[in-house]
Amino acid sequence: MTCEPTEPGHWRLTFPEPEAIFIINVLARLARHYQENVSQLPPALRAFWQGKITSGKSTDAEELKESQETLSEARAELRSERLALAENWVREFELTEKRDPWKVEISSAERDEFVAMLNDRRMLLALEIGITESNMEIDPGEIPNEKRRHAILEIDVLGHFILVTLGPQIYRP
Amino acid sequence: MSQVESMLGVKILTPIRPGIERGVIAATPGTETSPDIDVEKKLKEAFARGWSVIVWNDPVNLMDYVVYVFKTVLKMNEQEASRHMWEVHKQGKSVVARETQEKSELLVHRLRGFGLNATMEQI
């Protein structure tokens, strides 16, 4: 995959077909997830999507309750917006005849949403499987549990796509 | 009595007690509440940068991605963004902004939109 600027604020993503199929599968899974009722999700995922606005001390419990509700509503809206975006990408791919390579032209705002969605998938996998920092530091090949190994591999691969998409704008230590 | 209290004519009625002949005393700050003063206090608090925005460590977010998000959402420069990213990584959290309540809420929403674990705390 490559990501090149076409004009200020616009980018072209180019995927070889196998990578495009992988990304479309990820987006299709995300679309299914975004449609699920948050209250029916497992506790870790539910907490992720409802969000918690404050930590530590606070003085006005009533006002913060409102802020908490606003955050939860904003998170719900975000899910709807991302559902529409994921469905658009999947539909565009299905309608495209020339898929090798598959080219997508997007704005900077759409690019940010795209990487945030890939990051959603990484976060959801980690929360669902209960992946810890130490899990992420070992060679996935050494992880005996297949489900956990696959999740870590997918998290790694999606991380690669995020970094390529952000390209030269990201920090390189 | 402050000028605002004086303008509002803040007084409280009390039962007659020894030493208070007419049963009316001038209010002193901190001895009574008035809805108007509450509003003033709330306005002051709302405009004060009395809230910290905190980003917490998590096992998954990439360091480079976190730096990108700090630059995009918080308009930090490269150096600042990477310093805060390292602070999150090494110490488990970093205070990335001190803002009004409203602005802090907005920043928490945006940081969470990018998948970072952000909260706000009253200073």
Which CATH number belongs to the domain containing residue B57 in this structure? Answer: 3.30.1390.10
Q: Does A76 touch chain B (CB under 8 A)?
A: no
pLDDT tens digits, residue range A113-129? 999 999 999 999 999 99
CB within 8 Å of B34: residues ≥ 6 apart: B8, B10
Whether residues B83 and B96 share a domain: the answer is yes
pLDDT at B43 over 80: no
Whether residues B104 and B72 share a domain: the answer is yes
Contact residues, chain B to chain A, C-beta under 8 Å: 54, 57-65, 67-68, 71-72, 78, 81-82, 85, 101, 105, 108-109, 112-115, 119-122
Arithmetic mean of pLDDT over chain A: 90
SS3 per residue for chain A? CEEEEEECCEEEEEECHHHHHHHHHHHHHHHHHHHCCHHHCCHHHHHHHHCCCECCCCCCHHHHHHHHHHHHHHHHHHHHHHHHHHHHHHHHHHHCCCCCCEEEEEEHHHHHHHHHHHHHHHHHHHHHHCCCHHHHHCCHHHCCCHHHHHHHHHHHHHHHHHHHHHHHHCCCC
pLDDT at A101 over 50: yes
Whether residues B58 and B32 share a domain: the answer is no
pLDDT level of residue B45 (50, 70, 90 thresholds): low
Note the ipTM here: 0.89
Count of Cβ atoms closer than 10 Å to residue B76 Cβ = 19
pLDDT tens digits, residue range B76-115? 999 999 999 999 999 999 999 999 989 999 999 999 999 9
Residue A123 with chain B: CB contacts under 8 Å: 58, 60-61, 115
Q: Which residue does chain B place closest to A160, by CA atoms?
A: B62
pLDDT level of residue B14 (50, 70, 90 thresholds): very low
Residue B61 with chain A: CB contacts under 8 Å: 119, 122-123
Whether residues B62 and B97 share a domain: the answer is yes
Whether residues B38 and B59 share a domain: the answer is no
Average pLDDT over residues A21-48: 95
- The minimal CB distance from B67 to the residues A70, A159, A170 is found for A170
The string of DSSP codes covering B5-40 is HHHHT-EEE----TT-SSSEEE--TTS---HHHHHH
Which residues constitute the domain of residue B87? 51-122
State whether B72 and A112 contact (CB < 8 Å).
Answer: yes
Q: Give the pLDDT confidence score for residue B40 in this predicted structure.
A: 79
Whether residues B15 and B65 share a domain: the answer is no
pLDDT at B4 over 50: no
Distance CA A108, CA A143 (A): 37
Q: Give the pLDDT confidence score for residue B49 in this predicted structure.
A: 73
Q: Does A59 touch chain B (CB under 8 A)?
A: yes
Whether residues B68 and B115 share a domain: the answer is yes
Whether residues B57 and B71 share a domain: the answer is yes
pLDDT tens digits, residue range B49-74? 789 999 999 989 999 999 999 999 99
Query: Higher model confidence: residue B118 or residue A59?
Result: B118
pLDDT tens digits, residue range A46-99? 999 988 888 876 666 777 788 888 888 889 999 999 999 999 999 999 999 989
Whether residues B42 and B55 share a domain: the answer is no
pTM for the model: 0.80
